[in-house]
Structure formats: C-alpha cells, structure tokens
Amino acid sequence: MSALDLVKELISFDTTSRDSNLALIDHAQALLEKSGARCRRTYDETGQKANLFASFGPDGDGGYVLSGHTDVVPVDGQDWSSDPFKPDVRGSKLYGRGACDMKGFVGTALALASDIGKAKLKKPIHFALSYDEEVGCAGVKGLLDDLKAQNLKPALAIIGEPTLMKIVGAHKGGAKLITTCCGREHHSSGPEKGANAVMMAGEFVTLLGSVWDELRADADPRFDPPHSTVQANVIHGGTAVNILAREAEVTWEYRALPDRDPSKIIARIKQRAEAEVLPKYRARAPEAALNTVMHAQYPGLVMDEDSAAIRLARELTGANQVEAVAYGTEAGHFQAYGIPAVICGPGSIDQAHRPDEFCELSELEACEAFLRKVIAKACG
C-alpha cells in the first residue's frame, strides 16, 4: 500500500484514548510480521490496550527506533466538516482524526515495512507503537520497561510527532494533577457556618495563576512561551445553588522547562495553598482540606545537540537549526531510559486536537523521503 493509503486506513480505526487500540495493533502487527519483523507486546492492566515493539535486522543493541503513539484525542463536541474517522482528501490535505497527530507518521513508517524487511540492514530498525500517549504518555513506560528486561538498548529514537519535518531536540515536561477541595455542607443562607468547596476551588485556581506569574521570571527563550506554566482546565463541584458545596475538584497541569525540577512547582503550590487558602475555611470547618493527586506525568526532553539522534536527523535533513517546543511527547521517556531521542514528523501541531485536523500531502511525502534515508543509513 502507498503511504497515503495506509495512513487513511489507520485513521479509520477509532483509537480514542478512552477505548481499546487492539484492532489497530492487530492490523499493524500482521503487516509487520508479514514483512519479517519480530514482534513483542506489552499490555495495560485491563488487557484492552497494547504497545507493539517490532524489530527488523540484526538482533541485539543498537539501531534506530521509529516511534509513534496509536491513540487519538476525542472528537466529542467538535464541529467537523466530515466524519473524523472516515479519512477525506480535499485538495492538498488529508483530513481525519490523527491525520497529523500522529497516524501520518505511523502510517508512512508502516508503509515502508516491506522495504525494510527486504533491505540488507547492518543496524536494526525498530517500530515502537504505544497506547495512551494523549493521557500523559502512560503506555510507553511499559514498552521501555520491557526493553530494559530484555537488556535491549537501541542507539536512538525518532519520535514522529508533527513538527513540519523540522528537527526538534527539546520539549517541556508536564503532569496532570487533581486537587480535591473538601469543605462542609450547610444551607447557603449561612455561608459562614460551613465551608464552601466551590469557593475554595476558585481561590485555589487564582493561586495557580499567581504561581504561574512567579514562574515567568525564569525563562528560556528557545521555548514559546519561554517559561514554565501552570493552569487549571477542568472544575467539578457542588450539588445545588442553595447548598454550600462539600466537595469540588480542580484538574490542573504544569508544563515545566525540561531542565528544571517540577517537584518545586508542586511544593510551592501546596505551601501557598496551606498558608493562603485553607486557614479561612478551617476556621469554619476544621476538616476542610486540599488533597492533590498526580494522575499522569511525563519528563521533558533536555536539549543535547551532540546526541546521536540529533546528529542523525541533521545529517539526513540538512537542517542547521534544532528547535524546542512547549508540548510534550514520549521523547523524554526515551531519553530518561538512556536512548537519545529527536522529534521529527509530518504535519503541524497547530492542527492537532482540533476539528478538521489535517496533514498536507506534501508533508507525508517529505516524511517518506526522510524515512527512506533512515533505512539507507541502517544499511550502511
């Protein structure tokens, strides 16, 4: 199949993160094994989601990993011009959920599996297809743990997130956290006889904004925005307009510069919340509390322009510049495992997660040309 046809085929699998990705993994594994790959899977605790690691060429360490996630973000509530899971080519663009993030890269790589299987590889080429990247890079950790258990360490990883085929060597780290605001119910006509958790949540959100303002002083101009960020994105709480809320939840995130310690951000928020938010509510209800739980975390990718991954990407693309981005990827996990990583893939991050997500066909062509150079390099 052509790269375009295979990308379209992958888009037709609804692999929204809340659902299973096994149908797509089955399809990819069958294609890879038909081309001669040796495949391994690792599963989540439910058995309904899987990572796939496939290898061509010599056994053992070394070689190049082509890495991509198989899950996509939801389309709920978005106004699409066409069915997001029925890929549609209009003019010079391919539309569909995952067209750029990141089935464009995965499909293009899989379309070359037959060529890789026939190539006289001197270095291995590996495929790493993961689950649950969109909910905090949760799946790839199991894949990397499995590599560690096998004592297998590839030389580098190319993560095909959308970069317009530019070379990206650094990204911020991040986390999803939920803070539960615990108060005391009472009739709303007596607000000082209880502790309103929704009001507490509002003050906590204001505090997050204040901490973000503090972080602006520590900047790295390579990033946009150039500083670490903190913000709340979801709030749930309360039962009725005339009842002081007993509980409210604030879902928030940080995105930290990759060479900073994000635990200091969390510690600062907890410290200020204890000093500035809780005393007022505990004066009314001693049981008032703010309980924070981290639900997902991924490390940043620290710039290392001398890494094997960046050197290879620059050699094959001729790029003079290595960029940094604010969004997160699985590259930080590969780097933390000891595998140098670089990000380079088709499409623009500006189209990711939006209605009418698309990838320019010329980007898929450029990606295929780049990956063919990777294959040639692995052949020596």
Residue among 88, 133, 357, 363 flagged as catalytic? 133
Provide the pLDDT for residue 11.
Answer: 98
Q: What is d(CA 263, CA 256) in angstroms, rounded to the nearest whole number?
A: 10
Is residue 71 annotated as a catalytic residue, yes or no?
yes
Give per-residue pLDDT as tens, 5-23: 999 999 999 999 999 999 9
Is 45 marked active-site?
A: no
> pTM for the full model?
0.92
Protein fold of 173-298? Alpha-Beta Plaits (3.30.70)
Query: Shortest CA distance to 29 belongs to which of 50, 1, 13, 58?
Result: 50
Instruction: Tell which residue, 94, 267, 242, 53, has the closest CA to residue 177.
Output: 267
The pair phi, psi for residue 227, each rounded to 5°, is -125, 170
pLDDT score recorded for residue 61: 86
Residue of 71, 132, 356, 357 with catalytic role: 71
Q: Name the percent of the chain lying above pLDDT 90.
A: 99
The secondary structure of the chain in percent helix, strand, coil, rounded to multiples of 5, reads 35, 25, 40
Residue 348's pLDDT is what? 97
H-state helical runs in 112-196: 113-118, 140-149
Residue ranges of domains in the chain? 3-171+300-378, 173-298
pLDDT at 195: 97
**CB proximity list for 300: less than 8 A, separation 6 or greater:** 170, 171, 172, 173, 174, 256, 257, 258, 259, 328, 332
Which CATH homologous superfamily contains domain 3-171+300-378?
Answer: Zn peptidases (3.40.630.10)
Low-confidence stretches of the chain (pLDDT < 70) are none
